[in-house]
């Protein structure tokens, strides 16, 4: 299994579409920080990723400290850390007057919005992905505050765009399974954005950029295919078709850590997932993530998560029961 598929298997996500909007120029839509909407989108989520799919027309994306970004039909605009932003027909327009009641806005999904000055139309579908911060850390590492890709650059993206339109039409007169269909499409849309981002030529750093690099990508795929293997830098460099020095430098530059440190981090992500989702004994968890004894595993887990694995699991269970 390739590195992206493997990390998506472990990084458990859930998502949905929450706004289906038709605006007419001039218009402005204010999107608050994702953390403010989280109580009504996904109360138990540690991190919310917001995205917008432009299904008709175009618009500007404005965010504090950033030049306005133009988005067109078929584009997806993704906010990995859920920063506050505005979608607008013209630069500098204020959002509609009056405070937005997020609870009311998000109580029915997808909420239909329609307003503006009667000019050129723009249709936008807004969605989110909820995920665990630690489990998503490696995947989202290095992404800029806003990412834009065009679904129309790939056949899969065009199929997704059509499927979202179909599912939203179904939502008007819902049949059984409609909400589940929209949720799965939100997840697929997010994955397609990541796949396209890997191949964008202007990426500079981060896990996804490393995956798109010939040397680092080969090393990442090797590590994810055999995470329990007792890798050495020399062996990993051989698998990547390069020297140890080139691999070490390139990996550090793009991923922000050494290959062996990355392997430890990934093993701990795998361990946390097993501890969270199963009753697997600690000795078996240690073995499944590449450790020969409980002591070394417990020490590595505590460095990453601040608690020994048994205590971390107990806290997780107690928190779940309290919620």
Q: Concatenate the DSSP letters of all residues of 90-112 into one string.
A: STTPPPPSS---HHHHTSSSSEE
Q: What value does the mean pLDDT of the chain take? A: 88
Q: Do 54 and 167 sit in the same domain of this protein?
A: yes
Establish if 205 belongs to a structural domain. no
Could you tell me the two tokens for 32?
Answer: 């608050």
**pLDDT the model gives residue 182:** 84
**pLDDT the model gives residue 322:** 59
Establish if 203 belongs to a structural domain. no
What is the number of domains present in the chain? 2
**pLDDT the model gives residue 173:** 65
* Cα–chain center distance at 141: 10
Q: Is the pLDDT of residue 221 over 60?
A: yes
pLDDT (tens digit, 9 = 90+) per residue, 137-177? 778 888 889 999 999 888 888 888 888 888 887 766 667 77
Q: Are residues 137 and 257 in contact, defined by beta-carbon separation less than 8 angstroms?
A: no
**pLDDT the model gives residue 143:** 86
Q: Do 188 and 268 sit in the same domain of this protein?
A: no
Q: Do 175 and 241 sit in the same domain of this protein?
A: no
E strands, the chain, are 13-24, 28-31, 47-56, 59-63, 66-71, 75-79, 85-88, 111-116, 121-131, 147-150
Q: Do 43 and 138 sit in the same domain of this protein?
A: yes
Q: Do 236 and 296 sit in the same domain of this protein?
A: yes
pLDDT (tens digit, 9 = 90+) per residue, 32-50? 899 888 888 888 777 889 9
Q: Do 159 and 60 sit in the same domain of this protein?
A: yes
Whole-number Å distance between alpha carbons of 102 and 112: 14
Q: Is the pLDDT of residue 11 over 90?
A: no
Quickly state the pLDDT bin for 204 (edges 50, 70, 90): low
Q: Do 226 and 102 sit in the same domain of this protein?
A: no
Quickly state the pLDDT bin for 323 (edges 50, 70, 90): low
Q: Is the pLDDT of residue 291 over 80?
A: yes
pLDDT (tens digit, 9 = 90+) per residue, 297-310? 999 999 999 999 99
Range of the domain at 115: 3-198
Provide the CATH number for the domain around residue 277: 1.10.10.60
Establish if 204 belongs to a structural domain. no
Final residue of a structural domain among 153, 174, 198: 198
Quickly state the pLDDT bin for 320 (edges 50, 70, 90): low
Residue with tokens 């997806």: 76
pLDDT (tens digit, 9 = 90+) per residue, 67-96? 999 999 999 999 998 999 999 999 989 988
**Cβ neighbours of 28 (radius 10 Å):** 21
Could you tell me the two tokens for 306?
Answer: 């601040």
**pLDDT the model gives residue 41:** 83
Of 104 and 128, more confident: 128
Q: Do 235 and 136 sit in the same domain of this protein?
A: no
Establish if 208 belongs to a structural domain. no
Final residue of a structural domain among 140, 168, 198: 198
Of 321 and 15, more confident: 15
Quickly state the pLDDT bin for 9 (edges 50, 70, 90): confident
pLDDT (tens digit, 9 = 90+) per residue, 18-34? 889 999 999 999 998 99
Please state the pTM of the whole predicted model: 0.87
Could you tell me the two tokens for 216?
Answer: 């680092």
Q: Are residues 103 and 37 in contact, defined by beta-carbon separation less than 8 angstroms?
A: no
Q: What burial class does residue 211 get, using C-beta atoms within 10 Å of its C-beta: 0-12 exposed, 13-18 middle, 19+ buried?
A: buried
């Amino acid at each position: 299994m390739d590195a992206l598929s493997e990390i998506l298997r472990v990084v458990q996500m859930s998502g949905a579409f929450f706004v289906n909007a038709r605006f007419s120029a001039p218009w402005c839509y204010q999107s608050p920080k994702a953390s403010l909407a989280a109580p009504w989108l996904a109360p138990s989520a540690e991190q919310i990723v917001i995205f917008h799919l432009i299904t008709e027309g175009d618009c500007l994306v404005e965010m504090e400290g950033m030049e306005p970004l133009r988005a067109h039909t078929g584009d997806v605009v993704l906010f990995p850390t859920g920063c506050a932003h505005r979608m607008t027909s013209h630069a500098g327009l204020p959002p509609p007057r009056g405070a937005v009641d997020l609870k009311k806005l998000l109580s029915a999904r997808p909420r239909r919005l329609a307003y503006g000055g009667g000019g050129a139309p723009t249709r936008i579908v807004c969605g989110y992905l909820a995920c665990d911060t630690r489990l998503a850390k490696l995947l989202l590492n290095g992404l800029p505050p806003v990412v834009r890709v065009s679904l129309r650059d790939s056949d899969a993206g065009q199929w997704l765009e059509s499927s979202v339109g179909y599912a939203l039409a179904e939502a008007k007169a819902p049949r059984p399974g409609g909400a589940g269909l929209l949720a799965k499409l939100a997840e697929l849309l997010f994955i397609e954005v990541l796949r396209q981002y890997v191949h964008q030529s202007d990426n500079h750093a981060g896990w996804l950029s490393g995956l798109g690099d010939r040397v680092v990508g080969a090393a990442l795929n090797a590590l994810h295919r055999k995470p329990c293997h007792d890798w050495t830098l020399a062996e990993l460099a051989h698998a990547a078709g390069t020297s140890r020095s080139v691999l070490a430098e390139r990996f550090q530059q793009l991923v922000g850590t050494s290959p062996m440190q990355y392997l430890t981090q990934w093993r701990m992500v795998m361990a946390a997932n097993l501890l969270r989702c199963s009753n697997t004994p600690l000795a078996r968890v240690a073995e499944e993530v590449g450790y020969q004894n409980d002591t070394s595993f417990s020490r590595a887990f505590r460095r990453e998560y601040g608690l020994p694995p048994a205590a971390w699991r107990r806290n997780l269970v107690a928190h779940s029961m309290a919620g």
